[in-house]
């Protein structure tokens, strides 16, 4: 791989390239070792399998669930809720962050209120969404949107304030308009921080959808987990947790790929 410096292609360091290719090995080995220890502990009776089933039973339950139509129906609705909530939350968070980041009045009057709302435990707000929006899919989507709204808002505000002050002064001295200042300096400088907020918002939207299903859902993976727990089908519950982990990690990798594509200059040495 190469990096462009001064208009010329600079080969990437062999050490960095080797590290990039082998970065996945240690996490995979660590995970396999943990699973092997858990399997052995469960088989030897050191861990109650009713509380923590052996990984082999979890994998078996996962394959059984994958062959059931009702699993994919619930999977679809959870994915839809998280995706719709993420889209809504990111859009509103980005727009609100722009207003707060650019306007001194909004930063002084609105931003402290937003921080106060963010400090409120969002799980305590979830039952209110059922009162406001009913027991359909709407409260779960809105709660997922709320869960990822604040990370994006804060990231945008912090990113817009991260632009170099000397560069701001230079553009003002050249007579640049506010739009030019935003397009040429503020937005590019804020993109790494914004993508950091997006990486936090991805799992937050999934957590928001699941919490909404726990509180008042009638379909979704969260409802399935609640049902399996009540029936002491612990292996199935763990299998669904694995599915949620894969969903969250897969979404995170998509945002990471977009980050490396759009904000490529901040990943030249990684």
pLDDT digits (tens, 9 = 90+) for 36-88: 888 788 777 787 777 778 888 889 999 999 889 999 999 999 999 999 999 99
Residue 211 phi/psi, 5° resolution? -60, -40
Residue 21 domain flag: no
Residue 27 domain flag: no
Residue 83 domain flag: yes
Predicted TM-score of the model (pTM): 0.79
Residue 56 domain flag: no
Residue 177 domain flag: no
Q: Is the predicted pLDDT of residue 160 greater than 70, yes or no?
A: yes
Cα–chain center distance at 78:
15
Residue 47 domain flag: no
Reading the block at residue 231, the tokens are 């029936």
> Is residue 128 helix, strand or coil?
helix
For the chain, the domain total comes to: 1
What pLDDT score does 266 carry? Answer: 64
- Find residue 3's DSSP bridge partners: 10
> Is residue 27 helix, strand or coil?
helix
Q: Structural domain of residue 218, as residue ranges?
A: 69-162+195-267
- Cα atoms in the Cβ-side hemisphere of radius 13 Å centred on 269: 1
Residue 227 domain flag: yes
What pLDDT score does 71 carry? Answer: 92
């Amino acid at each position: 791989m190469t990096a462009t410096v001064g208009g010329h292609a600079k080969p990437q360091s062999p050490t960095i390239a080797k590290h990039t290719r082998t970065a996945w090995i240690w996490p995979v080995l660590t995970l396999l070792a943990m699973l092997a220890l858990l399997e052995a502990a469960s088989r030897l009776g050191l861990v109650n399998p009713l509380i923590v089933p052996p990984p082999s039973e979890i994998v078996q339950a996962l394959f059984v669930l994958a062959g059931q139509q009702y699993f994919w129906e619930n999977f679809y609705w959870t994915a839809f809720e998280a995706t719709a909530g993420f889209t809504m939350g990111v859009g509103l968070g980005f727009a609100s962050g722009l207003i707060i980041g650019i306007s001194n009045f909004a930063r002084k009057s609105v931003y402290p209120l937003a921080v106060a709302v963010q400090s409120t435990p969002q799980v305590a707000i979830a039952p209110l969404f059922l009162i406001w929006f009913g027991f359909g899919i709407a409260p779960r989507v809105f709660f997922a949107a709320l869960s990822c709204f604040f990370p994006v808002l804060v990231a945008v505000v912090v990113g817009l304030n991260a632009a170099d002050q000397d560069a701001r002064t230079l553009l003002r001295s050249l007579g640049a308009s506010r739009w030019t200042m935003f397009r040429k300096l503020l937005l590019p400088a804020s993109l790494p921080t914004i993508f950091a907020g997006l990486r936090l918002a991805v799992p937050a939207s999934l957590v928001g959808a699941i919490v909404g299903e726990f509180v008042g859902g009638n379909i979704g993976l969260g409802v399935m987990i609640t049902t399996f727990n009540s029936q002491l089908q612990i292996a199935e519950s763990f299998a669904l947790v694995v599915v949620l982990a894969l969903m969250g990690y897969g979404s995170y990798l998509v945002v990471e790929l977009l980050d490396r594509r759009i904000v490529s200059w901040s990943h030249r040495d990684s």
